[in-house]
Homo-oligomer: A and B are copies of this chain.
């Protein structure tokens, strides 16, 4: 069975998903694209012989659309996600699920009412081969429990439109979800610190920041968010177990030895780094939809990530870098 897919949001990310589903993955077909910008919808749909819609409603209600991908801005995710749920259609929503805990709760309520997990949040790192190997070492259990995790989220540069808040809700949100998934527990406290700033940032930006988080069981996580490095897109993670430490490698394929040293080239963009993860995420989602099953992160994961973001932003906005408790509702049995 071929899964007939509709895309809401014909920007760069959405178009990349159309291309991967068509050219690199098995079992999915693009049948519709919706965008409030009519021309964008048309130009994105055309190469695939897909329909173009001006509204998400039309796309969601199209009986020829089996499942929906949402790749619009985070602030407008919630209503479309809820409509997909109400239409009984699986939806893969790019992160964040929604920008407020209230919206996430509304989504969870709709989903519970529907009685079926339909929502997958686009946290693609859960499908990255390297993070999965790290998680396998933890779960093998031979090296004891996790004590600390050290993360680095390093970008070559960010545009002027990138705000200090985005260091949390657009950037660190990846580590927030990945750490919850890796460790299998919730983050309960968070503090955001402000080291000396790089001169390569725009003046309005606090960069770098260090996010310090604690899980329920006491694992300490830090995350250096450093987004004007100039030299690489470098996602680093060290999981410190009781009797071993596990690190993501640079995922390099070759080493060059020359006048610059013995070296491996650094990745320069998240697309290069997570191309494989995106493909696996979408392939698994298509396969799951074809079997009428849920896969990947849930609405609860989206809610928890947004709640940690909220706490982190309130710490970031206070110059004294207070430790802020994360307030989570009780987890519905539906998501256990």
- Residues of A that sit less than 8 Å from B by CB: 22-27, 129-130, 133-134, 137, 143-148, 150, 193-200, 208, 210, 212, 214, 217-220, 222, 224, 226, 229-232, 234, 240, 242-266, 283, 287
Contacts and interface: CB of A to CB of B under 8 A. Distances in A.
A211 to B, nearest CB: 12
Contact of A247 (B134, B195, B199, B254): B254
Given A247-B257, A258-B231, A200 B242 contact: yes
B249 A208 contact: no
Contact of A249 (B224, B244, B264): B264
A68 B27 CA distance: 22
Given A144-B199, A195-B147, A219-B196, A246 B254 contact: yes
A145 B129 CA distance: 35
A257 B245 contact: yes
A217 to B, nearest CB: 6
A222 B262 CA distance: 22
B243 A249 contact: no
Contacts of A195: 147-148, 214, 218-220
